[in-house]
Amino acid sequence: MNNLFPRLGVLSLLSTTTEEMGLVLPELLQAPNLYHLSLHGIGLSGGLSFLSSTISLSTLSLTHIRDSCYFFPGQLVTQLQGLPQLEELSIGIAIPIPPPSNERELLPALIPRVILPTLKRLTFRGEDIYLDNLVAQINTPLLDRLNLTLLFDIAFTLMNLTEFIHRTGFGCLVARVNFNKNGASIDAGYSERQRKLSLHVNCESLEWKIDSATQVCSALGKVSSAVEELTLDLDPGGMPSDWENTLDRMLWQELLLPFIGVKRLHIGSSLTLQLSQALESVAGGLAVLPELQELEVQLEIGHAKHAFSLFIGARESAGRPVHLTNRTKKRNAPMNCIEDAYGMANFLHTNLGFARDDIRVMTDENPWDLPTKENILGGMRALVYDAQPEDTFFFYFSGHGVQIKDTNGDDPDELDECSLLCLLGCLSNGISLGICAIDYIGNDPYPTDNTPGLVVDDVMHEILVRPLPLHCRLIAMFDSCHSGTALDLPYLYDSNGMVKPIAHPNKLWLLRLKASGAHVVSLSISRDSQGAFETDRGGALQRAFIETVRTFGDTLTYKALLRGLRDYMRRHGFPRRPQLSSSHEIDTDVLALLAPTVPSNHPYPVASHTMQDEFLSNAPSSSHVSRLARPRPNFPEA
């Protein structure tokens, strides 16, 4: 690679070696038109000097930085000032910060700070002292998102970060503090829909997590005190069974102390008892949450009044009344799509072996994961980002679908399928998502792929299928209207497992456009011309899928799966005919690849020689093409 690459625009390299001496980008490499550089576990030689020749960079990601490739904040900032088009910056330090040979190497420059005029997103993963020194040396007038993960720390010093957030203009009026298996997360922004700051602290014991969150919120000072609406929640999954009995209520009181401006407090169901006890013990004073006006809990109102009676009564006596409200789950969401998402998430974990932590469900019940069209598209990119051979992805959608006029000629019926409202996706190596589209208005008589809230099949194929490398697996399910070819896969099958003739007049063109060497299978409840069907227990396809998988167990083939789905509809009187499609012609008598792990002796389900084999054998490897073609994903937020 010690050459000039004048046409190279995207360079993404990943090293999985565990050796301390990591790989280094060749010193003589030149790519003057590079606009996207992503290095994971691979260093830059010559003190980051390579960046001085890449003035067109808009995305720079240097992650999993090892000891041999380490650079100090000042070195990085010096190079960043020569990148006038930089919009996204990601830095990840994989080691505890080494002691500087010179004290000035870590100290931030006094003034002037370096202005990064176009930077919109800053992501950091590492030790707090590195982060604090980095942000002390930069100004980012257009910064819209700050994603931080702090490692290796038991005490936090974030004075410079607080000033950085303040001068950047982040108006953090709404905040959420959440505790889960992996640590503590703090999210803040202008509103529930506009998160600006996401900060996660990796730690183990729950007491350590609460203490870390308390330290961070206290260190953020001005940011915490400006918050007017606060949510506290805890995910009990992965927590010790007796976690509620091991905590001192003082921990929760100390966590609340920095939030002196909070007017509305939302308490998750898991923390109701803990917070009621903590607030009860400070009921006589105003040191904790002195401006509180409304308290919302996920508890029946009678139980809520009893649990918080002392606190509510004391505030009433002090002339600071607090209005108590309760919030329960929405039970009548359209088509039960929210229940479908959670039901499928549970089935994927208990029956197919996806780890609970790898499953993420997003619904409009969670204000921090509001599923707009932009988030849907970003979530799809994140789902398959950095896909590797043998990875398994599972994507589930439950909701509404519509048809629009086909614009590129790939649909035989001249109509493109659009899916919206509720999705659930799962990834075997760490990420999963579920989305309810909330920005579809539905009053456009002639919707197009640019209509807000609509995600067209062409776009879904481009994002979910095209980037996948050879032998990567994706299973997609669409429990929605007009979903027969929702993923735009070229091969459809009948109940006997035989591939149907391709109806498109230009078969070779279609295969070149839509066939893939990855193993992609789509299941849908209906033909493109049909609507979906809802049962009183959720989407009909979900119910049929769960029953069929449980019935056949480890002997389930693709033919048996399709027959099982259709038999379920017939037995229950549902006038729908589920569809099976694939990215290449498959042998439907082979065991269905649904789980995240596949036996090493499992045959790859490719059918006998077809026209697609000629195309795929002459085409470039999809893994090479996708690595250079796809942009960095807009990851879904927690």
List active site positions: 400, 481
Cβ(518)–Cβ(465) under 8 Å? yes
Cβ(92)–Cβ(63) under 8 Å? yes
Q: What angle do CA 470, 474, 475 make, to 5 degrees?
A: 150
* Closest CA relative to residue 178, chosen from 136, 230, 232, 221: 232
In order of 34, 108, 109, 136, the CA distances from 112 in angstroms are: 29, 11, 8, 10
DSSP state of 243: G
DSSP state of 437: -
390 backbone φψ class: left, alpha, beta (φ>0; ψ -120 to 50)? left
What is the number of alpha carbons within 13 Å of residue 497 lying toward its C-beta?
Answer: 17
* Closest CA relative to residue 586, chosen from 474, 464, 482: 474
Phi, psi for 247 (deg, rounded to 5): -110, 140
Phi, psi for 294 (deg, rounded to 5): -140, 135
What distance in Å separates the CA atoms of residue 294 and residue 266, rounded to the nearest whole number?
9
Upstream peptide bond of 112 is cis (omega within 30 degrees of 0):
yes
Q: Strands, E, within 406-466: which ranges?
A: 415-420, 423-427, 432-435, 455-456
Q: Is the dihedral of CA 153, 190, 193, 122 positive or negative?
A: negative
Phi, psi for 457 (deg, rounded to 5): -60, -35
In order of 172, 229, 349, 437, the CA distances from 538 in angstroms are: 38, 34, 18, 18
* Closest CA relative to residue 573, chosen from 537, 602, 546, 533: 533
In order of 23, 40, 380, 519, the CA distances from 45 in angstroms are: 10, 14, 34, 39
Helix/strand/coil percent split, the chain, to 5: 30, 25, 45
Complete DSSP assignment for 333-383: -GGGHHHHHHHHHHHHHHTT---GGGEE---TTSGGG---HHHHHHHHHHH
Cβ(447)–Cβ(418) under 8 Å? yes
Cβ(418)–Cβ(488) under 8 Å? no
Phi, psi for 249 (deg, rounded to 5): -60, -20
* Closest CA relative to residue 373, chosen from 426, 445, 431, 423: 423
Q: Is the dihedral of CA 69, 72, 75, 77 positive or negative?
A: positive
